Structure 1
Amino acid sequence: MALFLARLGAFSARRRRLVFAVWGAVLLAVVVGGATGLKFSDGGFTLGSTESGRALATMEEKFPAAESDDTDDAGTLQLVLTVPAGEQITSTANRTLVADALAEAGRVAHVESVSNPFDANRPYVSADQTTAVATLTLTGLRDDNRETVHEDVVAVAEHARDNGLIAEVGGTVEVAGAEQSPAEAVGAIIAFAILILTFGSLVAAGANMLGALLGLAVGLLGVFAFSAIHPIGATTPTLAAMIGLAVGIDYGLFILARFRTELREGRSIDDAIARSIGTAGSAVVFAGITVIIALVGLSVVRISFITEMGLAAAVTVAVAVLMALTFLPALMRVMGRRALPRKERAGRPPVQPAAEREGLTFLERWIRLVVKRPLVVGGTAIAALLVASIPVLSLTTALSSPGGEDPDSTQRAAYEQIATKFGEGSQNPLLVLVQGSDVATKLPAITEAITGLDHVAAVNPAGVSEAGDAALLQVVPKSGPIDDATRELVHDIRALDADGVELAVTGSTAVDIDTNQMLSNALIVYLVLVVGLSLLLMIVLFRSLLVPLLGTLGFLLSLGTAIGVTVAVFQWGWLDPLFPAPAGNPLLSLLPILLVGILFGLAMDYQVFLVSRMHEAHRHGLSPVEAVLDGFGRTAAVVVAAALIMTSVFAGFAFAESAFVAPIGLALAVGVLADAFVVRMIIVPALLTVFGESAWWMPRWLDRVLPHIDAEGSALEQTDPDATQDLATVR
């Protein structure tokens, strides 16, 4: 592999005009395709493999009138009116206040009708006579007026408060989504500043950033162009942008750092390009393949938009790898020695070994402390990550937050008020689809059986199909939609002996329960698949069994830390004022599997970049401890810069206002920091020191069976330093 990539890098440098033209043409093609073909889907779930999903499809077929009318031009809101303590909503004076509020609500633009909570046929008054709920049916809603309509109804509630009532607004109308935080752009700026400090050259930093941004543009616009064939979800580009930018910068950083090292060692520009692509480029390929495997593996979840997000992000990573192997060598040939700091360009000042310098750098002192006291330092680091992982024990996940994302909103207050006065499950009833022959006759017995189950507040008939072969029952649980009791109730209903008819449970609550179960089951399969394939790749790369295993176990510590900190911030509410996104909610049920997929790939990046140089040093005859010191000394500074860059990019997303994007951004930022600085720079070197030669052992029979890929460039060591032209022309 190293020789092939060296030839590719040399060819790209020698034919740089052709390379620039090809990438320019590709960019132009995806710009045109993206501009003309961009189509977004609703990003919903496809759950045909679950009982609730199949039942929902059947229900919509047999009961078309039961389908939700919450479309682009219709929706509902709830006006929840409560009297102060000691009063009743049914008193004459309070009835008048309620009537005034409802009349005012009816005059709001796009409010088609307002229900009367005192209607004897369909009352909506709490048992203690303190709360009344009116449903506002809306029409003519569009993206440009939804927020205005919502604000007008909130103004009605505020007027009712002025008149002495306690009023809140809840319902299903979605207000305009939160805008992206400018911190995301700040993260990219910080990343560029880190590049300048790392390289000491504005030219090198600019080339690195240019390659990353161009690769991101090609990847994202390619995804947009594909949307003309298959519409994509609105959140799909977010993950692709987050991952594509981070790995694009990092891959360029590793190759440019190796290029500068080769120049400092006296090689010609062309030879330095070829060797940097053959060595660091090999690590980039392995790292990129690992990330792509993790992202593509998300398809095992069998939820369409997660699969879509994973594939889109994998495309941006693949483009970033290709950009680093072709476009970057062309840029390096244009830069030449300007990739070095100005004081090093004229001549070739040799890089003094650490032993010959007057003092050690901070990172060199760091690694010497680690290998001197491996058990103490490594054990302390492991204990610290385990402590940071403790909040994982209280992790609660949900597909959506009952009552809305913002705990301080009037929507959440309305939801909680109705839950308190009318029952926890009153707003999230289960729908039981009864199918079979003679359904109408058997329905009373089925209703009685369901009513007798634990955690059931009420069972109400919701209709019989025209053909008479299906019926709907609305089951109101005593518990809330994310409570364990509700999940048990769903399972109990499905387990009933229904005397020749089929019972299926659906509705939003059942869909959430089935989705969480699907994600839990898929996570196990996903871990086995992704970790297994990645372990195999690293065994081939490092010719060791223990090193890949240590890398994987270290990832679990990073994952626990990432989720633990995210739980503390977004579920417990720690540091809430620092983050615009709402806190105090269960985390999104999709977060763990997304985090596993993304963080595992990135964690293996650092394992490959750091340990490959240690392996290279050990292969050249250094002892295990000397190999750790040598490999760490050659790559640590670059890995530190790479980790800080990734953290900057992800931290920008952590400050987004979206309750979906922000926890992912924070978890990835924390995960990268923990993995790069604690796992890869403390725990792994400490354990490699403890295990010594055993860390690099592999059975001879396995070594013979596995392919030898030469990712570290041993073939290049036998190549004439001035043979770059041969590397570029040999086919």
Structure 2
Amino acid sequence: MVGWLLALGAVIGLGFSLAGSFEDSSSIPGSPAQTALDRMDRHFPSPDTQSAQIVFRAPPGQRLTDPGLRKPLAATLAATGDVRGVAEVGDPVEEGAVSEDGRTAVAEVAFTTKEDEDVPAGTLDAVRAAGAHAERAGLVTIYGGDAFEESTSPFGPAEMVGLGVALVILVITFGSLVAAGLPLVTAVLGVVGTMAAMTGLATVVGVTDSAPTLSIMLGLAVGIDYALFIVSRHRAQLAAGMPVARSVAEANATAGSAVVFAGATVVIALAGLSVAGVPMLTSMGLASAGAVAMAVVLALGLLPAVMGMAGTRLTPRPGKDRPAGHGDRTPGARRVPGLLRLPLRVVGRLSSVAARTAGRGRTPGSDGRTGRTATHGGRVTLGERWTAGVLRRPVRTLVLGTLLLAALALPATQLRLAVTDEGNSPTGTSARQAYDVIGDAFGPGANGPLVVLVEADDPAAVGTAATDVRAGLHDVDGIADIGDVDTAEDGTAARIRIIPSTGPRTEETSALVSRLRTEARRAAEAGGAHAAVTGMTAVSIDVSEKLGGALVPFAIVVVGLSLLLLMIAFRSVAVPVKATIGFLLSVGAAFGATVAVFQWGWAAGLLGVSGEGPVPSFMPIIVMAVLFGLAMDYEVFLVSAVREDYVRHGDARAAVLAGARNAARVVTSAALIMVSVFIGFLFSHDADIMPIAFALAFGVLVDAFLVRMTLVPAALALLGDRAWWLPRRLDRLLPHLDVEGGNRRTPDAAPQDPVRTPAPVSR
């Protein structure tokens, strides 16, 4: 343990000492809009500095040009220009940045701070204080733009609540604070190490600012779950009388092998996000894959050392679901605090009631064929009772469950994608207020202007072509305003500013960009020039189209990977097929629920969603990658328990009940922990993370309880022995993978040295 802590300390110290800054980038190198934007920056170079906007709004019935308001406005602009760190302040009245009703104006502010640096807080406070002249005259002043954008911490109070809920679930699962604390500690250490490594790597490679939050969310979720699987196996073996050192090794050989398989699927899926060719998505995928890999490494390396040091204090109390290791209290462990006894008692009582309801009408746990009873420790678990109820009516369960998932997935057909902007910020932030006021006063398109860039080697051709392009744009639908032709100093380029009549995240604006590209190119080529549509709105539209186009190919890769991995793991054709179908249903349900909340506004206020509209363009592909890995986790831990019993006894129906006995409560606890962690990040008010967190929480909830715990047992019961059939030729072609460590060689079975006999294992 000391060695692992020293290694982590070195990573953390080195990472934070070389700390770099994260990037705010959502572009695609080589896309039409990004290429045109890079060329425009060369023709029209702008200062490499931070900028902001000050929005002034006059009281009802007054205009900013009135003498009583014009003077305070000018005084505020002058005071702002005198602030140390401010390079320039524009006058909206002189520059024509005043709305038609005269009530709203926007002043541009340029700072001396570099674009990739943060403006000092003192400078921003001084700019706000300079607005006192306007505010005393009754003007409303709102400060927006990049400089005033409020940065959100990747981990805050909402996420702490999620961890607290996860701790409560662990206490309920283990009945011991010592056992409950182990998964939490290793997960937190893994996240800290990942963040340190990511911060250090940001000095040499580009890391998007959304990557840390996603990495923390996934690192905590899988870190807790992977440690939970290993600790549960260790406690079950201790309850059976196995010595501590031997049990730790056995737990790593069995549950640890499954953790490696499950973690590898998540890492592969996340790393596969780089095939989309979007740097932001690549950064998020690789950073999250690193967090998952760190969780696996610590679960296999640090956790065994800690379990060994805990010794027999992790042994469950006799008579409490011993083989599963749940609901037990260790003799040497601390008792559950008094504040937790009542909620634990209530949860236990509700579980008993639910169990009696699910198992009504037949002797629970009996397979009805061999007489074997799926009980242990003298009690029947809730998982067994639930599975017994499913097996009584497998056809009805399968049909109704599939129809329910299909209904939940139906809204996914209306899924709309866009890159987030200030319109996705919480309503209480100044950036969102400025966005809304500008949209109301100048039209929604003012928040997302477009630019038509005209280029030619001959300056005369540029002027003629730009004039022709501007004249032709008057016939294009969807344009609210067309600016004048702005010619570059060298005369080889000109630009025309376009204000759409719709907002930047609407389908109408996307269609307008397509029409502008066609019309502008036709008019420019007629004059011997070249034209392109650019601007941040056009860049965002290209990103969304790129990611939307990559979703189907990525889904095909994920489905193929799912079939291959599960076929190798379980030596079956039916199991991978039904697992993949279940995964697709879970993904569809997650997307459908996301559309209902974030686009239609269902329960949006309750969940803290500040506005309705398209979801982030990278959400579907990230959710698909992560949910694929998590769904395979639950499939492996549940179905491997079923297969183990089937191989041993040869009774397919009884094996399903045995699998529920051995894995259901662990899978249930793992899923609830995942959901609690994701829900914590849902309330982070990060517009890029909230839809991802919600979709993952809903998807895990549906996949674990409706698909894996309900539809999978029903399908296995209907398939019977056919579930484990694999053609001989395919069996020879597929590599053999020991997922649960079943081919391990125990110390008792190891060949003894003829010269030196090993010491016997103590019992």
The TM-score range, normalised by the shorter chain, is 0.7 to 0.9
Give 1:309 deviation, angstroms: 2.0
1:287-325 deviation line (CA, Å, top 9, x unaligned): 011100111111123222321222122122112222222
Could you say which residue in structure 1 is the equivalent of 2:462? 439
Equivalent residue for 2:79, pick from 107, 111, 125: 107
CA, structure 1 residues 157+227, in 2 after alignment: closer, same or farther (shift >3 Å)? same
- Checking the alignment, whether the CA contact within 8 Å between 1:396 and 1:587 is kept in structure 2 is yes
Could you say which residue in structure 1 is the equivalent of 2:148? 174
Could you say which residue in structure 1 is the equivalent of 2:406? 386
SS of the equivalent of 1:481 reads coil
Are residue 78 (structure 1) and residue 55 (structure 2) matched?
yes
Are residue 376 (structure 1) and residue 396 (structure 2) matched?
yes
Give 1:238 deviation, angstroms: 1.8
Alignment of 1:175-194 (within 5 A): 175-179=149-153, 180-194=155-169
Give 1:510 deviation, angstroms: 0.5
Q: Distance in 2 between matches of 1:139 and 1:506?
A: 25
Q: Distance in 2 between matches of 1:466 and 1:670?
A: 55
Q: Distance in 1 between matches of 2:79 and 2:488?
A: 37
Give 1:37 deviation, angstroms: 0.9
- Checking the alignment, whether the CA contact within 8 Å between 2:57 and 2:105 is kept in structure 1 is yes
Could you say which residue in structure 2 is the equivalent of 1:365? 385
CA, structure 1 residues 209+114, in 2 after alignment: closer, same or farther (shift >3 Å)? closer
1:362-390 deviation line (CA, Å, top 9, x unaligned): 22110001111122223333333334334
Could you say which residue in structure 2 is the equivalent of 1:317? 292
CA, structure 1 residues 323+178, in 2 after alignment: closer, same or farther (shift >3 Å)? closer
- Checking the alignment, whether the CA contact within 8 Å between 1:435 and 1:469 is kept in structure 2 is yes
Are residue 215 (structure 1) and residue 190 (structure 2) matched?
yes
Q: Distance in 2 between matches of 1:728 and 1:285?
A: 30
Pick 1 or 2: higher relative contact order, CA cutoff 8 A, min separation 6.
Answer: 1
For residue 103 of structure 1, what is the amino acid of its counterpart? A
Give 1:580 deviation, angstroms: 4.8
Q: Could you state the TM-score of these two structures normalised by the residue count of structure 2? A: 0.82
Are residue 123 (structure 1) and residue 104 (structure 2) matched?
no
SS of the equivalent of 2:192 reads helix
CA, structure 1 residues 462+637, in 2 after alignment: closer, same or farther (shift >3 Å)? same
- Checking the alignment, whether the CA contact within 8 Å between 1:41 and 1:231 is kept in structure 2 is yes
Q: Distance in 2 between matches of 1:363 and 1:696?
A: 23
Are residue 139 (structure 1) and residue 111 (structure 2) matched?
yes
CA, structure 1 residues 363+507, in 2 after alignment: closer, same or farther (shift >3 Å)? same
Q: Distance in 2 between matches of 1:349 and 1:59?
A: 65
1:649-702 deviation line (CA, Å, top 9, x unaligned): 222212213223333222222222111111110122112222333332222211
- Checking the alignment, whether the CA contact within 8 Å between 1:559 and 1:671 is kept in structure 2 is yes
Could you say which residue in structure 1 is the equivalent of 2:672? 644
SS of the equivalent of 1:389 reads helix
Give 1:541 deviation, angstroms: 0.3
Equivalent residue for 1:148, pick from 106, 125, 149: 125
SS of the equivalent of 1:145 reads helix
Equivalent residue for 2:250, pick from 267, 275, 280: 275
1:182-219 deviation line (CA, Å, top 9, x unaligned): 12122223222322322233333333333333333333
Are residue 255 (structure 1) and residue 230 (structure 2) matched?
yes
Give 1:636 deviation, angstroms: 0.5
- Checking the alignment, whether the CA contact within 8 Å between 2:505 and 2:614 is kept in structure 1 is no
Alignment of 1:312-461 (within 5 A): 312-343=287-318, 354-355=374-375, 360-401=380-421, 403=423, 405-407=425-427, 412=432, 414-437=434-457, 438-461=461-484
Could you say which residue in structure 1 is the equivalent of 2:683? 655
Seq. identity, %: 38
Q: Distance in 1 between matches of 2:614 and 2:134?
A: 28
- Unaligned stretches of 5+ residues in structure 1: 1-19
Give 1:113 deviation, angstroms: 6.2
Are residue 55 (structure 1) and residue 36 (structure 2) matched?
yes
Are residue 688 (structure 1) and residue 722 (structure 2) matched?
no
SS of the equivalent of 2:454 reads strand
Q: Distance in 2 between matches of 1:284 and 1:356?
A: 25
RMSD of aligned Cα (Å):
3.3
Equivalent residue for 1:587, pick from 597, 607, 615: 615
Aligned length: 693
Q: Distance in 2 between matches of 1:418 and 1:231?
A: 32
For residue 309 of structure 1, what is the amino acid of its counterpart? M
For residue 583 of structure 2, what is the amino acid of its counterpart? F
For residue 260 of structure 1, what is the amino acid of its counterpart? R
Are residue 24 (structure 1) and residue 5 (structure 2) matched?
yes
For residue 683 of structure 2, what is the amino acid of its counterpart? F
Q: Distance in 1 between matches of 2:657 and 2:124?
A: 59
Give 1:284 deviation, angstroms: 0.9
Q: Distance in 2 between matches of 1:154 and 1:669?
A: 44
CA, structure 1 residues 394+525, in 2 after alignment: closer, same or farther (shift >3 Å)? closer
- Unaligned stretches of 5+ residues in structure 2: 114-118, 327-371
- Checking the alignment, whether the CA contact within 8 Å between 1:430 and 1:506 is kept in structure 2 is yes
Give 1:59 deviation, angstroms: 0.9
For residue 68 of structure 2, what is the amino acid of its counterpart? T
For residue 29 of structure 2, what is the amino acid of its counterpart? G
Q: Distance in 2 between matches of 1:421 and 1:212?
A: 49
For residue 283 of structure 2, what is the amino acid of its counterpart? E
- Checking the alignment, whether the CA contact within 8 Å between 2:22 and 2:202 is kept in structure 1 is no
For residue 212 of structure 1, what is the amino acid of its counterpart? A
- Checking the alignment, whether the CA contact within 8 Å between 1:79 and 1:170 is kept in structure 2 is no
Instruction: Identify the range of structure 1 (210-219 vs 31-40) with the bigger mean alpha-carbon deviation.
Output: 210-219
Equivalent residue for 1:199, pick from 174, 195, 198: 174
1:108-153 deviation line (CA, Å, top 9, x unaligned): 563776655554xx434444x4534241535357241365357547
Q: Distance in 2 between matches of 1:406 and 1:519?
A: 25
Q: Distance in 2 between matches of 1:395 and 1:150?
A: 41
